[in-house]
Amino acid sequence: VKQAIKEGTLWELVDERSRSHPKMFTAYKRLLEYRDYLEENEPVTKASAFFKVSEEIMRTPVVLRAKERAEKVKKKFSEVINHPIFGEIPKYLSLTFPFAQSEGEEDFTIERPSKEEAKSYVQAVAEYQFGEGASEAFKDVFVELSRKTGMLRQIKAGSKHVATFRAEDGLLTLGIEGAKRLHKILPYPKMRVVVNEDAEPFARKGKNVFAKFVIDADENIRPYDEVLVVNKDDELLATGQTLLNGRELKIFKQGLAVKVRRGIK
């Protein structure tokens, strides 16, 4: 179990073990009915791929959330492709977890993005990752493609680094410019983790944020989300990756809350 948690394959293990006894399988199906609670604690990205090993595993939080978010993105980016596992999804999410990082019975070939479409991929992922309106933060960016793989990499606006398109999961890691843009566009408290005065100078210097210094947070934040660290006046202090969901950020009093990537002075 510990190894499965570390690898991000706990759902696959539960799905497999539950079939060893009819009562366990019944309990597993009952567990899947608690969708909201499970989704709240499900990380937005994992180190391992998603494996479609049964129909029941298609009812797990990672699948349901991905489909729900993809439907919202489809309203703005209407060009779609047919994914053998997830069905109809926006074309520009085809590089992103869990759509690209998945295995089923049918093979799935990922189309390499063209230079002309690179920005559309970034904007669609921003909507998927940060929510409605986030694509506006990337409307004037230039996307550099990897010389070796031809895949998206650095996202810039002039000489400023806006974000990085992560190779491992097709999501965005914010630079200082990207954090500033999202902070300006997303209404409070969207994607924010609010810290007290004691933590403010340390966050600005790029130091990690601990739970005891958090005084508020967006309840829609999920584990491993890229977040904006702000003070009580909504001044941007830093950007980083949270280890907790929004509810945990508000109630936990010990342990690491946000791994800060960049402080903003």
For 2-50, how does the pLDDT look when each residue is reduced to its tens digit (9 = 90+)? 999 988 899 999 999 999 999 999 999 999 999 999 999 999 999 999 9
At 46-86, the pLDDT tens digits run: 999 999 999 999 999 999 999 999 999 999 999 999 999 99
Please give the pLDDT value at position 107: 84
Longest Cα–Cα distance of the chain, Å, equals 60
CATH number at 1-103: 3.90.1020.10
Q: Where in the chain is the domain with CATH 2.30.130.10?
A: 187-263
Tokens 């946000």 appear where? 258
- CATH 3.90.1020.10 maps onto the chain at 1-103
Global pTM?
Answer: 0.94
Pick the CATH number of 187-263 from 3.30.1330.10, 2.40.10.220, 2.30.130.10, 1.25.40.10: 2.30.130.10
How far is the C-alpha of 231 from the C-alpha of 181, rounded, in Å? 17
Q: What is the mean pLDDT of residues 225-240?
A: 99
Instruction: Give span(s): CATH 3.10.450.90, the chain.
Output: 131-181
Task: Report whether pLDDT(95) > 90.
Answer: yes
CATH superfamily of 131-181: ArcTGT, C2 domain (3.10.450.90)
Q: How confident is the model at residue 110 (pLDDT cuts 50, 70, 90)?
A: confident
Instruction: Round to whole Å and give the CA distance between 125 and 196.
Output: 31
